[in-house]
Amino acid sequence: MELSPTAYVILGMLRLGKQTGYDIKQLVDKSTRFFWAASYGQIYPELKGLEERGLIEGAADPQGGRRRRAYALTAEGQDALDEWLKTPEDVTLEMRDSALLRLFFASSLPPADAAAIARAAGERHADVVRTLEQLDPPAGMTRTVRDFGLDFHRWCADRFAQMEKDLKEH
């Protein structure tokens, strides 16, 4: 069964228990967004499609006069998630970092301006490190995944600090 990556994020979050679209977004923001983000604009259409395919089932779950729909994983959804988890992938990592893109074209800037780009990027990664250090991995986020994020962002912060230093010297 071919589903989008966001669909698998939703199935994984629903494996943790019944959730609304809002709940799923909040879980994503506290866990996977450090390596796999999902927006409301992705989540809600996917919820509809997953329900139509019988992988999840939704029911009205009003809260304080607000219309809400809570979703649960069906047996078919459990099977689809398990199948995806067991399927090896041939994936190439694709990174999109606007600071690296700016630095790629920054040869015309004064060294101090280019160094400022690197410094800001390093600070951004250091902020992510501080956030991840505060997280006790939520359900579904293993400590090894959180630690990977810590190692990655620490490395990036250190590398951008070195870039800043190198750019100031030139």
Does residue 11 sit in the same domain as residue 80? yes
- Which residue is listed with tokens 């967004």? 33
The whole model's pTM is what? Answer: 0.72
Q: Provide the residue range defining the domain that includes 52.
A: 5-86
* 89 three-state secondary structure: coil
Does residue 107 sit in the same domain as residue 136? yes
Choose between 36 and 82: higher pLDDT: 82
Compute the distance between CA of residue 85 and CA of residue 8 in angstroms, rounded to an integer.
9
Res 138: pLDDT: 58
Q: How many residues are there in the chain?
A: 170
Res 147: pLDDT: 87
Domain of residue 77, CATH code: 1.10.10.10
Instruction: Say yes or no to pLDDT of 76 above 70.
Output: yes
Res 9: pLDDT: 93
Res 90: pLDDT: 67
pLDDT tens digits along 27-65:
888 888 878 889 999 999 999 999 999 999 999 888 877
Contact yes or no for 35/27 (Cβ under 8 A):
no
Contact yes or no for 70/61 (Cβ under 8 A):
yes
Query: What mean pLDDT is predicted for residues 82-88?
Result: 91
Domain C-terminal end among 86, 119, 138: 86
Contact yes or no for 123/99 (Cβ under 8 A):
no
Domain C-terminal end among 86, 116, 144: 86
